[in-house]
Amino acid sequence: MAISRAQLAKELEPGLNALFGMEYGRYEGQHAEIFDTEGSDRAFEEEVMLSGFGAAPVKNEGAGISFDDANEAYTARYTHETVAMGFSITEEAVEDNLYDRLASRYTRALARSMAHTKQVKAASVLNNAFTAGATAGGDGVALCDASHPLTSGGTFNNEPSVAADLNETSLEDALISIAGFVDERGLVIALRGMKMIIPRQLQFIAERLLVSNLRVGTADNDVNAIKSMGMLPEGYVVNDYLTDTDAFFIKTDAPNGLKHFERMPLSTNMDPDFDTGNMRFKARERYSFGFSDPRCVFGSPGA
């Protein structure tokens, strides 16, 4: 369906003072604060979690050494989606418009729609982090779960045992939990929280928790331990596409965690239709968002 003169009636008449509705600013590129971006040249990408060795046992005098096995634990797959949108304008609408170049105005609107979709898809990884099956990773459970299975037969958790709102206690407990993460064989690994990811509703709480020199909300003259110890060195970022108003996440320094694969960057094109004279415009890109190692984040859904 082409945009015709009937849909642009006021733009064909003299006396129009302003056109508005497509000049708003937009939240752009917020996914770059959360995901590590890599290029891709195939239909999908796979990343394999390897299981190393367990703790080394004591060797008794004269006895032989113990041998252990290493294997693949699971595979995380990123299947790229194609996101595209277009519009067309009749030849007559272009000819009779009095105020502006229709193509440039609606091309900006098209770019805005494409950018919005990308941010929504990126945020959906965290929006569905606590929903079983919605964003299941290679280990078969949600991104944030109380029972991530380990190759050794145990489990590890990257969410609190009791859901908690963002406050000093819940933030400290999250950082302690991250420091106790284990690998696939149950060995403690050195990870730390780097950045907190929050919805806009929590930005004022986050500012007080991370920036205040003294403890927040107490009459005590205690130091703000989170700040003085250099915890969360990258501070916090607000993602305006998070839908849960009291959920918060801490991104860790685990490698191969939250990933964004770019198969084809955003491209635009236009061509005239010979029969109708309509001008057709389109935008298209291919990408995927997901995660490989769930140790990349600790999240709480809020109380």
241-251, pLDDT tens digit by residue?
Answer: 999 999 999 99
Please give the distance of CA 149 from its chain centroid, rounded to a whole number.
23
Give the chain's domain count.
1
Residue 20 lies in a domain: no
How many whole angstroms separate alpha carbon 206 and alpha carbon 248?
10
Residue 153 lies in a domain: yes
pLDDT, tens only, 89-100: 888 777 776 445
Residue 3 lies in a domain: no
**CA torsion through residues 167, 206, 25, 84, sign:** negative
Residue 196 lies in a domain: yes
As given in the structure block, the two tokens for residue 74 are 């699971």
pLDDT, tens only, 182-222: 999 999 999 999 999 999 999 999 999 999 999 888 888 89
Residue 141 lies in a domain: yes
Whether the predicted pLDDT of 5 surpasses 50: no
Phi/psi at 141 (5° precision): -125, 175
Residue 18 lies in a domain: no
The CATH number for 92's domain is 3.90.1690
Q: Which residue range(s) make up the domain with 120?
A: 29-51+73-300
